[in-house]
A and B are shown apart, each in its own frame.
With several copies, the nearest count.
Chain A
């Protein structure tokens, strides 16, 4: 059985258009989902995978309408279960390239358990989690990523729950590829999606997405020019962790077991923190940072290599067959203790 989505050699030369389906796009005008759709469609040709070998699986939510708009195979399933459905699909069909599209509610509220297990199993999937910090489709209740004290329809006096941090959660689950990107940063989005899609194992991407109807500008820290300049920290493997305007460049460094921010100019080069995607400890520290006290990291937090669940499953099958040949039911039926009646 061939590994994921090979066939690059024979894959036709696609353009974005080839990945646009004939369905009406049914998001609210102005929704961040449009930008993500466009970025994904634009990334597809570069994967070098025949269109028919690509499948999009989603749960339920505004974001989960995604598969309808991709001219690939697609399955819009039930709330929260997309990772489990995709796992079964990959076990059945390790030759397909499978994407999972989910939301902060779909993937982290009802679907939190499947997310945990798909990540620890390291199933070869690309997961796009659209985080708009709200339940869009059900019209604006708070979500597990909403900030504590959030006033929504279901929490008129403010939500009582502390939010879950998708990046920290994914890392705590043992994820092997974890990244964050932003709906309004088109190029970064495309690049991140392509990196995730190329990862062997589960590529988990948190996409900060704007729900302009129920939670407008939740990610303004990365939209607003000034704020972005002050806080965005691009993670680049092998490069030091620095951020902020050129004239007031800041460095993120470790003070013992604590990250601290210091003026870059005054930081000796050997104290600079060089981003290393293979360091999961570092990734977990980065995951917890956010504005205003810290920079907001975007990019690839971690990318490590680990065995892939369905490859092991398939390998066991191959070994069993190699050992004793393909099973034959007629033989099996007669194996073990039998007796004849004449």
Chain B
């Protein structure tokens, strides 16, 4: 421990209790803001806070240093009560350079903590950020915010001046100075980060030493420097007891598949073509070959879906994933799976569109594509996880439904869920519902389109089974025999049967849980990654004494059987979505309720505040 750090411990500054805080680290893409944010998340989780995160990075791989479009940021909210979202406005912003300040400062609450790395505020960086004058010299900044100018680079270099590293290597550790400082401010334990450094740089003691020293230097700086008069502490949140880990949506989807493969004893073949923000699932699965997950990086999305279908025909569970543009390409192939009545799981990690759009930003605008993005009547099951951790259960559920009903299942995740993380209570996998797959082996009376009376699913046969040789295809088939049929009435019957099979999945849906009164003035209906923002807003309104409830849909097709009834128990229905109004159209068409949408398509999660405002307006009858 360096001397400064030691000193710090001796004279602690006052600690103020806090219920929650929203912190954002922002800097250049090369400044390591994502890592900083992740470590701060881990520290907060270990400190017992509930939390939610929002990584946000440019589409460019390494945008030229100092530019506005090259700014990368990581935001999190942590608190001693339930935390649903990464937060709207910031309590604390760390700006590592002028560009980061420019892009993010408006999100800081008046009076919020603004920590800037003054070293980076040189003429070159100011120019790149388009600042004529140094904003730090503008007194209004310090008036509006609690501004702390820290010469981080110098302090960093000082802390490790004696280490045999070059300046570039030394400079690269300055994000840990920021991390140490903010950890001090919010009384976060450094141990998780110290452990991480140990593991990560096990083979390079000097780099490890440098990072440790800089981290502690930042921490000590908070304690000792005159500029910080107080720090904050948070009670641990009341969270269900258990073992926790941080979980991102993409990893949870991947692990959900691993769990499904283990429980079903059916191997999974995962066909994908890289695309942001879905690639992480492929990369995660590729590391777990021991689970008999076979990954194919296909030549394109069509091949990826096709390979998955081929695998399903072979008696494995075919899974494919992409983001919106790639899902658009898979439409025809999904139609084949619909009519071939094979299990297929499709993950759509939604991102900003249309077309290439905003590849690294989040959106919820593929619901209609999931429901209808294919030729003709080709219904599929559509599910959506509510939180990063929920992705685990949804992936598992998707495999279960796909194999039970012999039907494609689309899972709608999004960029926010994919990269965002939450403290996740590790489930006991043996408590998951079983996935019972029966491959038909009995040739007696076999036809490929016989149906299970309960699910309407047809028999799944593994090629290689003697006596069950059969042919299927994309041309319309006679129900039962599976022979090609152009008979008009058979076609009508098959169209209805495929639809009914999907409708039957409703029997899998548990009663809808209502967050709030069972009847009232307003019901807020959401789906997917907006769960946190909606829940936070509704609970705030409830705390204000309003008769507001919310319902969050995980099953979007078919819809929960009790939903129509629930909707009619409220005077008004509000549907917040990060799209132009998709679920709201489905609900209006289905239930003929005058549901209204709240729609913001900004590439970002919805703001709790905005939803609150809308709730209030609706309640006041606007």
A touches B (Cβ under 8 A): yes
Query: Which residues does chain A contribute within 8 Å of B484, judged by CB atoms?
Result: 23, 68
Bound CA–CA A341/B243 (angstroms): 6
Identify which of B67, B240, B283, B295 gathers the most chain A CB atoms within 10 Å of its CB.
B283
| Interchain CB contact under 8 A, B464 and A52 | yes
| Interchain CB contact under 8 A, B336 and A78 | yes
Query: Which residues does chain B contribute within 8 Å of A257, judged by CB atoms?
Result: none
Q: Which of B143-189 contact A (CB under 8 A)?
A: none
* 17 A-B contact pairs sorted by A residue (CB < 8 Å): A27-B61, A52-B467, A53-B464, A62-B61, A73-B463, A75-B310, A84-B303, A85-B310, A85-B313, A87-B296, A89-B311, A112-B299, A113-B299, A114-B299, A136-B61, A154-B297, A329-B258
Q: Interface digits, B249-274 against A, CB 8 Å rule (1 contact, 0 not)?
A: 00000010011001000010101011
Q: Pick out which of these stretches binds chain A: B468-476, B489-497, B512-520, B554-562.
A: B468-476
| Interchain CB contact under 8 A, A28 and B62 | yes
Bound CA–CA A116/B240 (angstroms): 53
| Interchain CB contact under 8 A, B61 and A317 | no
Query: Which residues does chain A contribute within 8 Å of B94, judged by CB atoms?
Result: none
Answer yes or no: A306 CB below 8 A from chain B CBs.
no
Q: Pick out which of these stretches binds chain A: B40-48, B410-418, B571-579, B612-620.
A: B40-48
Q: Interface digits, A136-154 against B, CB 8 Å rule (1 contact, 0 not)?
A: 1111011010000000011
Q: Which of A156-181 contact B (CB under 8 A)?
A: 156-157, 159
How many chain A residues touch B (Cβ–Cβ < 8 Å)? Answer: 90
Identify which of B192, B292, B469 gathers the most chain A CB atoms within 10 Å of its CB.
B469
| Interchain CB contact under 8 A, B307 and A87 | yes
Answer yes or no: A40 CB below 8 A from chain B CBs.
no
Identify which of A50, A72, A85, A139 gathers the most chain B CB atoms within 10 Å of its CB.
A85
Q: Which of A70-86 contact B (CB under 8 A)?
A: 70-81, 84-86
Known: A76-B472, A329-B258. A93 touches B288 (CB 8 A): no
Bound CA–CA A139/B466 (angstroms): 38
Bound CA–CA A53/B468 (angstroms): 11
Query: Which residues does chain B contribute within 8 Å of A21, judged by CB atoms?
Result: 471
| Interchain CB contact under 8 A, A85 and B306 | yes
| Interchain CB contact under 8 A, A28 and B244 | no
Q: Which of B15-69 contact A (CB under 8 A)?
A: 42, 45-46, 48, 59-65, 67, 69
Bound CA–CA A182/B67 (angstroms): 29
A62's nearest neighbour on chain B, judged by CB, is B61
Known: A25-B64, A77-B336, A88-B271. A72 touches B469 (CB 8 A): yes
Known: A23-B471, A113-B299, A154-B282. A341 touches B276 (CB 8 A): no
Query: Which residues does chain B contribute within 8 Å of A246, judged by CB atoms?
Result: none
B residues touching A (Cβ–Cβ < 8 Å)?
42, 45-46, 48, 59-65, 67, 69, 192, 195-196, 236, 239-246, 255, 258-259, 262, 267, 269, 271, 273-276, 279, 282-283, 286-292, 294-304, 306-316, 318, 325, 332-333, 335-336, 340, 355-356, 425-430, 462-475, 483-484
Known: A62-B61, A313-B294. A329 touches B241 (CB 8 A): no
| Interchain CB contact under 8 A, B291 and A138 | no
Query: Which residues does chain B contribute within 8 Å of A116, judged by CB atoms?
Result: 299
Query: Which residues does chain A contribute within 8 Å of B64, judged by CB atoms?
Result: 24-27, 29
Known: A110-B300, A329-B429. A92 touches B469 (CB 8 A): no
Known: A26-B64, A87-B296. A78 touches B426 (CB 8 A): no
| Interchain CB contact under 8 A, A154 and B325 | no
Query: Which residues does chain B contribute within 8 Å of A68, judged by CB atoms?
Result: 471, 473, 484
Bound CA–CA A275/B472 (angstroms): 42
| Interchain CB contact under 8 A, A330 and B306 | no
Q: Which of A166-220 contact B (CB under 8 A)?
A: 213-214
Query: Which residues does chain A contribute within 8 Å of B471, judged by CB atoms?
Result: 21, 23, 56, 67-68, 70, 73-76
Bound CA–CA A56/B469 (angstroms): 11
Known: A24-B69, A75-B340. A81 touches B306 (CB 8 A): yes
Answer yes or no: A334 CB below 8 A from chain B CBs.
yes
Contact among B273, B296, B428 for A88, CB-based, below 8 A: B296
Known: A75-B340, A334-B426. A91 touches B294 (CB 8 A): yes
Known: A26-B64, A55-B463, A333-B429. A342 touches B241 (CB 8 A): yes
| Interchain CB contact under 8 A, B267 and A339 | no
Known: A88-B308, A117-B299, A156-B286. A51 touches B469 (CB 8 A): yes
| Interchain CB contact under 8 A, B483 and A340 | no
Contact among B274, B308, B316, B473 for A75, CB-based, below 8 A: B473
Chain A nearest CB: distance from B564 CB in Å? 37
Chain B nearest CB: distance from A13 CB in Å? 15
Answer yes or no: A242 CB below 8 A from chain B CBs.
no
Bound CA–CA A81/B299 (angstroms): 12
Apart from A81-B333, A141-B283, A341-B239: 13 A-B pairs, beta carbons within 8 A: A67-B473, A77-B306, A87-B310, A89-B310, A89-B313, A96-B314, A110-B273, A141-B279, A213-B61, A332-B291, A337-B246, A339-B243, A340-B241
Chain B nearest CB: distance from A260 CB in Å? 34
Query: Which residues does chain A contribute within 8 Å of B258, judged by CB atoms?
Result: 327, 329, 332
A322's nearest neighbour on chain B, judged by CB, is B290
A82's nearest neighbour on chain B, judged by CB, is B306
Bound CA–CA A91/B303 (angstroms): 13
Answer yes or no: A291 CB below 8 A from chain B CBs.
no
Bound CA–CA A4/B470 (angstroms): 20
| Interchain CB contact under 8 A, A88 and B309 | yes
Bound CA–CA A112/B62 (angstroms): 27
| Interchain CB contact under 8 A, B241 and A154 | no
| Interchain CB contact under 8 A, A60 and B356 | yes
Identify which of B297, B310, B475, B483 gathers the most chain A CB atoms within 10 Å of its CB.
B310
B342's nearest neighbour on chain A, judged by CB, is A75
A313's nearest neighbour on chain B, judged by CB, is B294
Answer yes or no: A325 CB below 8 A from chain B CBs.
yes
| Interchain CB contact under 8 A, A141 and B297 | yes
Known: A78-B336, A92-B314. A73 touches B469 (CB 8 A): yes
Q: Which of A306-329 contact B (CB under 8 A)?
A: 313-314, 316-317, 320-321, 323-329
Known: A93-B464, A141-B279. A24 touches B472 (CB 8 A): no
Bound CA–CA A72/B473 (angstroms): 14
B259's nearest neighbour on chain A, judged by CB, is A329
| Interchain CB contact under 8 A, A93 and B67 | no
| Interchain CB contact under 8 A, A326 and B290 | yes
Answer yes or no: A155 CB below 8 A from chain B CBs.
yes
Query: Which residues does chain B contribute within 8 Å of A236, judged by CB atoms?
Result: none
